[in-house]
Every structure is written in structure tokens, then in C-alpha cells.
Structure 1
Amino acid sequence: MTVYGYFLASEEFGPAELLAQAKAAEEAGFDALAISDHFHPWGDEQGQSPFVWSVIGALSQVCSLPVTTFVTCPTVRLHPALNAQAAATSAVLTNGRFRFGLGTGEALNEHVLGDPWPAADQRFEMLEEAVDVMRKLFTGRQTTHRGRHYTVENARIYTVPDEPPPLYVSAFGPQAAALAGRIADGFVTMTPDADLVRQFRDAGGAGKPVLGGLKVCWGGDRDQAVKTAHRLWANLLLPGELGQVLPMPQHFEQATELVTEDMVRSGMTCGDDLDEHVRSVRAYEEAGFDEVYVGQIGSEQQGFFDFYGGEVLPRLRGSA
């Protein structure tokens, strides 16, 4: 049975808003939560970027839904040992309901300490080593590691959950999907791409969960919803590897000048058409996804939760 979750956008909402959305998602009947992990938003219009580990700690106290990061880069901005400690504490706070989504990151978030932004093949290598380091630390045993990219000296995480948090790896292309199949407990990707899911499963991911997420803009006025989605999330329609290499929100704002409202109208789900919202989620199920997370763009949050709780989720579950 497909898990239907709510996608908390750390780039667009502050901590108090994210906590309110999490509670509303649970009340509306969503099964789980995903939350983005950013240092910067994609653009100044989005305007937020709270520290994800503080928010996850607070989430553990206001709702009982599982939480997955979509996704954390554990290789540059924070050392894998610190990421492992944060993930272990989150798993304890959530009583084992935390899943650690990982990726190779974006220059937007990872350049802030002045380190060089590695080439893609090096980022894959760093992620694989980081996963190895974190798995060792999740045992709760003293760990020393001297690898190509990371050193850990006599480190032990004392606060560990009964079971280590599962590590889900994000991918947008075949090389990353193959890496995820080989080293991860699950797979995260943001488009309903059946070929990418197949590549993950063929590389060792058979039987492992596949998670995906999408942004929608619910609203009674479709034209206004399109304008809101265009103003806040036009970056979702940028092609190629721009999302990985542009270093500043201002650069994304410059790039999204090429994204028109018509592109948003045809490329994103906006408005209040029930069939359109259901089709958007079903596309992920049909591509082989086990969990689908939907995030609402803009301020019409309660209307979205009423719509999904009352109409979309029942239709998806076959009860309406």
C-alpha cells in the first residue's frame, strides 16, 4: 500500500509554520513527513531556511508521523560524524521513526564554508565514504576511520536508537541511481521516472523502498495559483544540472527568468481540480514508487489540507 506523505518546505516556511503544517498533515490523514535540508533557499522570494535538526527535534514533540530528510548532504557542510550524531538523536527522539535521506548536495548550500565544490564523480565518492562512516558510528562502538576524504578519531556516539536509521540515497541520473542501489536502504527522487526506479532496483535496490516528492499549488483560482507557484518555485523547472552548480539564490533568480507562467501552468499541478491532483500523485505510483510526498506552495495551507484530507487522499486510497 502506498504511503502518502506531506513535504515540509524548509526553504519557504519558518519553524513555527513547519510545525503547524506537520500537525495539520497528521490531522488530515497523511501517513508521514518529508523535510528539506537547506542552508539557503532557492531564491529570496521563498525567504526561509531554518536548521533542519532543530526542526526535527521539535517535530518529534508535536506529531507522531515518521520523518525523512529530503535530502541532507552529509559530505561538505557538516562532517559525516556530526551528521551521524544528529541522525541518531533524531531517531531516538522520534522513537525510531526517522529516516535519513542523503544526497550529493548542491553548491547553493555547500559552498558556504569556502570549500571547493567537487566534481560529480568526487561527490559520489564522498557520499559513499560518508555512508560507511555513519554506519560504523550508528553501532555505538568507538570508531576510527582514515579514508580518502574523512578522518574520524576515537569517536563514539553514545545516544543511539535501538535500530540504526535507514539511509535513503537521492538520485537524478543513472550513475547516482546505481550508487543508491548498491549502498542505500532506499531511494529518493523527485520525478516519476520509471526508468530511474528500474536502474536503482537492478543495481541492488530490489525490495527497497522508493520515495518521491512533488510540489503543488492548491487554490480556487487556478490563474492565481499558477502565479504563486511561478513566483516561489519556478526553479523546479530549470533544466539539467543547474540545481547542483549555481551557488547563490540570486543566480537561481536570474536563471528562473527563463521560466514562464505558461511553463508552470503545463508543468506543475495548480488549482483545485481533483482529477489533476490525483493524477499527479498516481504518476509516481505507476512509476513504481512506494511513498509519495506532496508539498503545498504558498499560504493556502489549510485549504490544501482540507482538500487533500477530504477528497484527494480518500480517492487515492479507493474510499471515495
Structure 2
Amino acid sequence: MPTNRLQVGMCFDKVFPPAFVTEVARALEDGGAQQLWVIEDCFYTTGPSLAAAALAVTEQLTVGVGILPAVARTAPVTAMEIATLYGFGPGRLLPGIGHGVQSWMGQMGVRPASPLTALEEVMVAVTRLLAGEEVTSQGQYVTLDAVRLDQPPADPPPLLAGVYGPRSLALAGRVAGGVLLAEPASPTYVRWSLEQAGRSAGDPDFHVAVFGVVCVKKDRTEAYRTMAPWLAHQLSGARTNLTTLPFYDDLVARHADKGLDGLVTMPSEWWTELAPIGTMDDAAAHLQALEDAGVQGIGMYPLPEVGAARDQLPDVLALAKR
């Protein structure tokens, strides 16, 4: 086991077949990794089902659920899902709730007029239910009449807010047990997010988890070339996780001027800031910088193909033992 505080693991990509999750979970635990993050996106596989399977075949692995859309289930059903998963693996669950992609929520007929209000009402209700309270509330999106869980967790896990904007991060600082920051989550972005949340690195009452993408090669240029299309895609719809970077404007200019070659040849320290991409030493340096910024756990996305994910498992395991 590593001596540092950062827990390291892999993300189970939304495109992977469900049955693959038990293989990944066992391999991560047997190899000394600490976490597996299962992904719920519309309209792929569901997070709680994948998490239950992973928890059932492991004994020490922490399983994160990233993320449950706040309005896709009622607040009591979300609380029931989390409480049931806790029963499979007490102390080994990290559940995340977020706004959900609003276009997807619209497709399902549940898009809220105020995503912020909906998320806050759901987060508060689920937190209270997991604490064993009887909850009665009359909100804009959550209305409950004397609801109480029959089997609440003895020690509820932190309820993480999977958000990225300033107002949502401020909400997370008020009502969540932590944040789950989407990839690419650089140390710069982590520090900015904590500032927006009104929290500080190392706050024992606020758990910080992030997602990243991983690509480790003996030749760092080969890794950069592999991941340049991914970065270009990120730039096409840049969020605060990119715009807060000190070199963001220069990054955009390089891409506009030279395309993918401009990304491949950008300074190596930019890649190291962005993600565990490059050599093994580069990837380890990224993880250390995340830990220094206050991150407690990272789930790393492999390439989105089963064979490639199997090939990358040893890299994740090596980073978990760094």
C-alpha cells in the first residue's frame, strides 16, 4: 500500500459491457489499487448496478459512483440505492450526485427549471435520509411526507457533488460532503474549485475526488500523440476545468495555429498539469501535485476499449503503488 493519502484507481467507462466490471474490480484489488469508479451516463449502464457487482466481488476496494443525476430518481430512491450499496461494502462507497446533462434530462421529461435548486433540495434530502432522519419537506422539486430509511448506513459515506461551475461549487461547499471533479482535473483547477466552494485543502469534512485520463508510454511524445485528439475534443467545449489554467489562452492559440501537432509539441509541464499522461514519472508527478492540492482520490479513464483497458491496468496498478 502507498504511504501517501491519495487513493488511486480506474474509471469503468460507460461503453464497457457490464460483465467486465467484476474482472476490473478483482484486478484492481488484487493488484493493490484502492478505487474503482463506475460511470452513469444516459443512456448506457446504471451506476448502482455496476457498483453493487464490484462491491460484491471485492473486500477492500473503494467503489465510487459518478454520477447520479439528481432528478433521474426521486430523492428517497437515490438514498435507498446508496444505503443498499453501503450494505454491500460498509466504508467502501463514494456516491456522487450532480445536475446531469440537461439535454438528457430533457429527453426523459425531468429537466428542472432551476438545476441548482433541484440539486440542493436533493442533496439535502438524501443526506438527511442517509443520516437516519425522518424527513418531511415541501420544496420545489422534493416533497416528502415522513420518509425514513429502514436501513440507513451506520456511518454514511460523504455525498459528493459532481459539479464544475462557480455557483454549483459554492452550493457543494454548503450542502455536500465533498466534490467530484471531472476530467481533466488539474491541480490548478482543484485549488480554484475549493476556493469557489469556500473550502480548503485538507478539510476533514470535505472529500475531494477527481477524474483523469491515463496514458503512460516509455516515450512521452508517443503518449502526447495518443491523447492529442482527446485534448482537442476537450477544447471544443471548454469548461472551467480548462479555462482556469494559467496557460489556457496559449493552449487554444497553439491548437488554432497548428492543430493536433500544436498539442503534441506543447510544453511537457502543460501535459503533466493536465493529466497522468507521458512517462510513468510524469504520471506520478501529476498524482503528487493533485495530492498536494488536497485531492483524496482519483479515478483514471483508460482508452475506451476493453482490450486497451486491460493493457493499461498494469499502469494504474503501478501508479497506485508509487
Flag whether TM exceeds 0.5 (same fold): yes
> 8 Å contact 1:182–1:204 — kept in the other structure?
no
Deviation at 1:287, TM superposition (A): 2.5
Instruction: Identify the residue that residue 68 of structure 1 maps to in structure 2.
Output: 64
One of 71, 82, 86 as aligned partner of 1:87: 82
> 8 Å contact 1:214–1:294 — kept in the other structure?
yes
Instruction: Identify the residue that residue 46 of structure 1 maps to in structure 2.
Output: none
**Any idea what SS the aligned residue of 1:83 has?**
helix
Which of 218-227 and 76-85 deviates more?
A: 218-227
Structure 1 distance, partners of 2:217, 2:235, is 20
Instruction: Identify the residue that residue 212 of structure 1 maps to in structure 2.
Output: 210
Deviation at 1:85, TM superposition (A): 0.8
For normalisation by structure 2, the TM-score amounts to 0.76
Alignment of 1:170-319 (within 5 A): 170-190=162-182, 191=185, 192=187, 193=189, 194-202=191-199, 206-207=203-204, 208-218=206-216, 229=227, 235-240=233-238, 261-262=260-261, 265=264, 273-298=279-304, 299-310=307-318, 312-315=319-322
- Partner letter of residue 212 of structure 1? V
Q: What are the superposed Cα offsets for residues 91-128 of structure 1, whole Å, 9 maximum, x if unpaired?
A: 1111232122122221254223123454xxx2121111
Deviation at 1:89, TM superposition (A): 0.6
Instruction: Identify the residue that residue 54 of structure 1 maps to in structure 2.
Output: 49
Q: What are the superposed Cα offsets for residues 138-174 of structure 1, whole Å, 9 maximum, x if unpaired?
A: 2445433221222223433223221223211233233
Deviation at 1:37, TM superposition (A): 1.7
Instruction: Identify the residue that residue 105 of structure 1 maps to in structure 2.
Output: 100
Instruction: Identify the residue that residue 2 of structure 1 maps to in structure 2.
Output: 5
One of 135, 150, 153 as aligned partner of 1:143: 135
Deviation at 1:308, TM superposition (A): 3.6
Shift in alpha-carbon separation, 1:58–1:263, aligned structure 2, 3 A: farther
Structure 2, unaligned stretches of length 5 or more?
A: 242-255
Structure 2 distance, partners of 1:56, 1:110, is 22
For normalisation by structure 1, the TM-score amounts to 0.76
Supply the RMSD in Å over aligned alpha carbons: 3.3
> 8 Å contact 1:77–1:112 — kept in the other structure?
no
Deviation at 1:88, TM superposition (A): 0.8
**Any idea what SS the aligned residue of 2:299 has?**
strand
One of 122, 132, 135 as aligned partner of 1:130: 122
Q: What are the superposed Cα offsets for residues 295-319 of structure 1, whole Å, 9 maximum, x if unpaired?
A: 2124323332223434x3343xxxx
> 8 Å contact 2:13–2:39 — kept in the other structure?
yes
Shift in alpha-carbon separation, 1:78–1:260, aligned structure 2, 3 A: farther
Q: What are the superposed Cα offsets for residues 57-108 of structure 1, whole Å, 9 maximum, x if unpaired?
A: 111111131122222222x221112111111111111123212212222125
Structure 1, unaligned stretches of length 5 or more?
A: 41-48, 244-257, 316-320
Q: What are the superposed Cα offsets for residues 191-242 of structure 1, whole Å, 9 maximum, x if unpaired?
A: 2222222333448993322211201234568777667656778644443459
Instruction: Identify the residue that residue 20 of structure 1 maps to in structure 2.
Output: 23
Structure 1 residue 37 corresponds to structure 2 residue 40? yes
- Partner letter of residue 24 of structure 1? A
> 8 Å contact 2:216–2:280 — kept in the other structure?
no
Deviation at 1:6, TM superposition (A): 1.7
One of 14, 21, 24 as aligned partner of 1:11: 14
Structure 1 distance, partners of 2:239, 2:277, is 29
Shift in alpha-carbon separation, 1:204–1:21, aligned structure 2, 3 A: closer
Instruction: Identify the residue that residue 145 of structure 2 maps to in structure 1.
Output: 153
Shift in alpha-carbon separation, 1:138–1:12, aligned structure 2, 3 A: same
Instruction: Identify the residue that residue 155 of structure 2 maps to in structure 1.
Output: 163
Same amino acid, percent of matched pairs: 23
- Partner letter of residue 104 of structure 1? H
- Partner letter of residue 77 of structure 1? A
- Partner letter of residue 217 of structure 1? C
Shift in alpha-carbon separation, 1:157–1:202, aligned structure 2, 3 A: closer
> 8 Å contact 2:212–2:276 — kept in the other structure?
no
Structure 1 distance, partners of 2:295, 2:14, is 25
Shift in alpha-carbon separation, 1:145–1:235, aligned structure 2, 3 A: farther
Report the count of equivalent residues. 288
